[in-house]
Amino acid sequence: MTMQTRTLGSTGPQVSALGLGCMGMSALYGEADRAESIATIHAALEAGVTLLDTGDFYGVGHNELLIGEALRSAPAARREQALVSVKFGALRDPDGGWSGYDGRPAAVKNFAAYSLQRLGVDHIDVYRIARLDPDVPIEETVGAIAELVEKGYVRHVGLSEVGAETIRRAAATAPIADLQIEYSLISRGIETEILPTTRELGISVTAYGVLSRGLISGHVTSDRPLAANDFRNFLPRFQGKNLQHNLNLVEALRKIAEQKGASVAQIAIAWVLSRGEDIVPLVGARTRERLGESLGALDVTLDTADLAAIEEAVPPGAAAGERYGAAQMAHVEL
Ligand SMILES: NC(=O)c1ccc[n+]([C@@H]2O[C@H](COP(=O)([O-])OP(=O)(O)OC[C@H]3O[C@@H](n4cnc5c(N)ncnc54)[C@H](OP(=O)(O)O)[C@@H]3O)[C@@H](O)[C@H]2O)c1
């Protein structure tokens, strides 16, 4: 298979049309298998995936160390193709708690120094604050990343979960390659204002949660318990009646998937891919099996009739429950 590619923004790098999100290999979705995680990263690189996404706070450094190990043990040609996108800024405590965001310029440089060390690389390909620090103007945070670009420690500036006004202010400070933000069949909030803004400014979208944390993957059932430390226990869409309502949407999608000879996850990923060349879905696969299924989405072509059937099965706003709980919604600008 030849991997399809897309370009991140008008100034950014060329990347594979699907990126691999590595978060679940270290945090939030219960236990992950280290050897299988590394094998999944290797399999992704082998298949032509070039974009690996992480955050320095995923497993409090664990995810960057894991990616570093996977890159070191990959064949040189694959390692050299890999582009690593890193989020920073989330403050953690030893109990695993979260205590806000730090976007001060000195903190940005400090975070970057530790990330370079943990990843074992001499530069980070795309660097972004995970959430806006309400006490620091975005110009200062982005300005500090731009200084790291000048010094060669970072290649491109990205953004994460910010709204149209912040995007404009950031883009007036430095060239922005991409905005990372949740976008899926059941999370379409960016379509009103954010997507027109990124398109006007020549900024791409790296879409996360394209399976709504697995909810619309076709693999979740209401009787499959989540591990106690799985953060989906706290996501409104996975709760009680909301879950049942949302799984009914998945069943409607499954009928379309069966007609197309594809899986539900492949239809959900292919739908995001179909939204535009400026959109790169990040898939949160933690095993080679899930990765293989996700990559199959690249072979699914959705024509006008398919897209209409999908819209009918899952109309905009069809999901029950917000995409995050109230405390986390307070940190996003959408
Ligand atoms: N910027 C931000 O604020 C932000 C926030 C969250 C995530 N992200 C990034 O985006 C990446 C993806 O996000 P996500 O993991 O939350 O979303 P996701 O891709 O919607 O969900 C991943 C979950 O879906 C399950 N799944 C079921 N079928 C799958 C398949 N065929 N392929 C892949 N996964 C399948 C996985 O399964 P199993 O449980 O079976 O492994 C995993 O639990 C993250 O890894 C992270 O890098 C960014």
Q: Is the pLDDT of residue 224 over 90?
A: no
Of all atoms in ligand 1, which is nearest to the CA of residue 128? 1
Question: Angle at CA 279, nearest 5°, toward 36 and 258?
Answer: 65
Q: Is the pLDDT of residue 57 over 70?
A: yes
Distance CA 273, CA 319 (A): 20
Question: Angle at CA 316, nearest 5°, toward 302 and 212?
Answer: 75
Mean pLDDT of the 173-197 span: 98
pLDDT the model gives residue 263: 98
**Pocket flag, ligand 1, residue 284 (CB < 6 Å):** yes
298-308 per-position pLDDT tens digit: 999 999 999 99
**Pocket flag, ligand 1, residue 131 (CB < 6 Å):** no
Nearest to 50 by CA among 7, 21, 20, 26: 20
Q: Which residue among 132, 162, 217 is best mutated to probe the pocket of ligand 1, counting the most ligand atoms within 8 A of its Cβ? A: 217
**Pocket flag, ligand 1, residue 37 (CB < 6 Å):** no
Distance CA 276, CA 272 (A): 8
Q: Is the pLDDT of residue 226 over 90?
A: no
Q: Is the pLDDT of residue 1 over 70?
A: no
Question: Angle at CA 222, nearest 5°, toward 218 and 226?
Answer: 90
Mean pLDDT of the 263-289 span: 98
pTM strictly above 0.75: yes
**Pocket flag, ligand 1, residue 214 (CB < 6 Å):** yes
- Give percent helix, percent strand, percent coil of the chain, each to the nearest 5: 45, 20, 40
Mean pLDDT of the 3-14 span: 95
139-174 per-position pLDDT tens digit: 999 999 999 999 999 999 999 999 999 999 999 999
Please give the backbone phi and psi of residue 280, each rounded to the nearest 5 degrees, phi first: -120, 110
Mean pLDDT of the 244-262 span: 97
Q: Which residue among 26, 208, 233, 273 is best mutated to probe the pocket of ligand 1, counting the most ligand atoms within 8 A of its Cβ? A: 208
CA 147 – ligand 1 centroid, Å: 31
pLDDT the model gives residue 286: 97
Distance CA 306, CA 109 (A): 47
